[in-house]
């Protein structure tokens, strides 16, 4: 595979991961104690940061 195709696959996989995390943590954002709401938001932010950081590192190579 060439670099552009690999980047597109990584980008698509990253979008699926971030979307999945948002989907699964969305139920904790709607109900539950405030601690779980903060943890769900932290999870979304952390996973999004890690995925974007990984994509940027791989695209620079």
pLDDT tens for residues 3-18? Answer: 889 889 999 999 999 9
pTM over the 0.85 mark: no
Rounded Cα gap, residues 61 and 51, in angstroms: 16
pLDDT tens for residues 4-59? Answer: 898 899 999 999 999 999 998 887 777 878 888 888 889 999 999 999 999 999 88
pLDDT for the residue 44:
92
pLDDT for the residue 51:
94
Which residue in the block uniquely carries the two structure tokens 């990584």? 10
């Amino acid at each position: 595979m060439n670099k552009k195709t690999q980047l597109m696959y990584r980008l698509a996989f990253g979008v699926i991961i971030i979307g999945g995390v948002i989907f699964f943590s969305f139920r904790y954002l709607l109900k539950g104690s405030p601690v779980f709401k903060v943890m769900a938001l932290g999870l979304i932010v952390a996973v999004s940061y890690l995925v974007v950081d990984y994509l940027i590192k791989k695209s620079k190579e």
